[in-house]
């Protein structure tokens, strides 16, 4: 599920 969590986190906080 990390593959789906990575893109989502990048969309919410792309600063990180």
What is the DSSP secondary-structure string of 1-16? -HHHHHHHHHHH-TT-
Question: Which has the closest alpha carbon to 14: 4, 1, 3, 6?
Answer: 6
Q: Is the model's pTM score more than 0.85?
A: no
CB crowding 1-16: b at 16 or more within 10 Å, else e: eeeeeeeeeeeeeeee
pLDDT of residue 8: 77
pLDDT of residue 12: 76
For 1-16, how does the pLDDT look when each residue is reduced to its tens digit (9 = 90+)? 566 667 777 777 766 6
């Amino acid at each position: 599920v990390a593959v789906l969590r990575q893109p989502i986190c990048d969309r919410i906080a792309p600063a990180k």
